[in-house]
Structure 1
Amino acid sequence: MNTKGKILVVGSSADMFELKDGRKEPMGYYLNELAIPSQAAVDAGYEVVLATPNGKQPAVDQHSVVADHFGGSEEALQKALDFVATNAGMRNPRSIRSVIDEGLDNYAGVFVPGGHPPMVDLMQDPDLGEVLRHFHATSKPTALLCHGPIAVTAAMPKAREFRQALVNDDMAAARRAAEGWQYAGYRMTIFSNDEEQYVEENIMGGSKVPFYVVTALEIAGGKVETKGVFEAYVVEDRELITGQNPPSDHGIADVFVKALDRHVAAKAAR
């Protein structure tokens, strides 16, 4: 089947989240955040390839498998479930390392959905860091949604030290670890502190996350913008496209596909 190009969809291998008080919380990607942009890319003529750090199927957050995240439509919910279950690229995930070894020049863009897992492994994954540095250097569309944008810290030379400093509440150490970050100075958005506090109170039983992702990106040098609680918002700055929250799924899908089409057209014209 002829396609416009391949899109790398990066999922997490983490399915548990250690909160500030040491309690473990099951977690996974948000179904609409994975399915809506990925389906939009397929509908626009692209092939999607799902990859995770360990090459296994990522876990879905059960809180997201409800019609509320699909405009109240049970039909749209089922369509998303069917897409993840039947699309060849979604059914057969790769390891990020195997994708790199095969060649990143084969990919037109990269997309990272949210849910809390990117806060655990993706933001400090060295293979994802290599992927992001390639897409940054080649100005290929790089889209991340909800908590997904925290994964851009993987491009740092000291990504693991950065995350550990955040967990330790050592912001001076986090700033030092972030030096040389490729996305410093970029406009971006991510799941807001107010939204995270809503989740802490209503889903996590009052337990706190180990750090807030807005604060993390600001410390790293990102120019973070957020709108109201669960208000859709998408920011595009150069190759980087970020969406704030689950309701931003259709918005980021539209911006991402347009960026992909521009990139592919420009490449063909060269």
Structure 2
Amino acid sequence: MSKGKVVVIGSNANRIETKGGYWGDTGNYLNETVVPMLALIDAGYEVVLATPNGAPPTIDKASDSPAHFGGDEQAYEHAKRFWAEDPSMKGRTLRSILDEGIETYDGIFIPGGQAPIVDLMQDQELGEMLRHFHAYQKPTAMLCHGPISSSAAMPYAREFRAALIAGDEAKAKEWSEGWQYAGYRMTVFQKSEEKVIEDTILHAKIYFDMPYALGLAGAVVDTGPDFEPYVIEDRELITGQNPRSDHPIAKALIAALDRKLGHA
């Protein structure tokens, strides 16, 4: 008997545009996706993966390494098998979750990798989901680049993203008005961490950094030391800063679900 149901939101993006018109490979981080999913399952929760088009996400190549599992080869191989073979990873469309009834879900989790910058942060169906979770104060967790997906809840999410890419700060602020998370404390992959990815993996600059975008929209962004675990909870929202926050955010999300559903 499941304690409750959590929808995990994956991205379908497998490349990201960078300054100068270059494209880099992207996807969802393996550990950021699988570690919390396995923790939720172990805690007695059912997990359902959904993406905009229903296809499973691509593993970000930068995450396909035992290094993201503390060097534990066995944990890494287990995660790879889970991603490839577990029924939880088959994927459904966001639309199918809404049609089924988002009210039947008790929590939502959005992992990172840079992919959410491409599609999730402007996805209208995700925005509908996030507005439901906010209205009912249901646990909402986002990790690394995942917190940028919170902009999907804006009335004009697509316009907000376009203004950020255009470097039009005034327009971005204008399009972000009415955002449900304005005033929330949150964390996200910070600029100095992003620079490492830009310099060593993308070899190009992305159009905007995450703390800047969320701060512009009215979030109170707080970040810890680079590549060290850091998680913030504010009301229903739980955010983690970077890949190493995978275990702490899973623990925080499970605790929040247990409290909300009376399992604590």
TM-score (norm. length: structure 2): 0.98
Deviation at 1:65, TM superposition (A): 1.1
Residue identity in the other structure for 1:214: P
Q: Aligned equivalents of 2:85 and 2:16: distance in 1?
A: 28
Report matched runs for 1:28-39 at 5 Å.
28-39=27-38
Deviation at 1:204, TM superposition (A): 1.5
SS of residue paired to 1:236: strand
Which residue of the partner structure matches residue 91 of structure 2?
A: 93
Which residue of the partner structure matches residue 203 of structure 1?
A: 201
SS of residue paired to 1:208: coil
1:173 aligns with 2:192: no
Q: Aligned equivalents of 1:21 and 1:229: distance in 2?
A: 27
Which residue of the partner structure matches residue 264 of structure 1?
A: 261
Q: Aligned equivalents of 1:34 and 1:189: distance in 2?
A: 18
Q: Aligned equivalents of 2:46 and 2:88: distance in 1?
A: 7
Deviation at 1:87, TM superposition (A): 2.4
Unpaired segments of 5 or more residues in structure 1?
Answer: none
- State, as a whole percentage, how many aligned pairs show the same letter: 55
Q: Aligned equivalents of 1:109 and 1:8: distance in 2?
A: 6
Residue identity in the other structure for 1:135: F
TM-score (norm. length: structure 1): 0.96
Residue identity in the other structure for 1:255: A
- The match for 2:148 among 143, 147, 150 is 150
Which residue of the partner structure matches residue 40 of structure 1?
A: 39
Between stretches 80-89 and 150-159, larger displacement belongs to 80-89
Deviation at 1:193, TM superposition (A): 0.5
Report matched runs for 1:59-70 at 5 Å.
59-70=58-69
SS of residue paired to 1:182: coil
SS of residue paired to 1:203: helix
Residue identity in the other structure for 1:240: L
Which residue of the partner structure matches residue 184 of structure 1?
A: 182
Deviation at 1:53, TM superposition (A): 0.4
Q: Residues 173-230 of structure 1: CA distance to partner in whole angstroms, max 9, x if unpaired?
A: 000000000000000000000001111111112x100111110000000000001110
Q: Residues 97-134 of structure 1: CA distance to partner in whole angstroms, max 9, x if unpaired?
A: 11001101111100000000100110000000000000
1:53 aligns with 2:52: yes
Which residue of the partner structure matches residue 248 of structure 1?
A: 245
Unpaired segments of 5 or more residues in structure 2?
Answer: none
Residue identity in the other structure for 1:238: R
Residue identity in the other structure for 2:92: R
Q: Aligned equivalents of 1:234 and 1:25: distance in 2?
A: 28
Which residue of the partner structure matches residue 227 of structure 1?
A: 224
Q: Aligned equivalents of 1:20 and 1:160: distance in 2?
A: 19
Which residue of the partner structure matches residue 18 of structure 1?
A: 17
Indicate the RMSD between aligned Cα atoms, in angstroms. 1.1
Deviation at 1:85, TM superposition (A): 2.4
Which residue of the partner structure matches residue 123 of structure 1?
A: 121
Deviation at 1:93, TM superposition (A): 0.7
Deviation at 1:163, TM superposition (A): 0.1
Deviation at 1:86, TM superposition (A): 2.9
Deviation at 1:21, TM superposition (A): 1.3
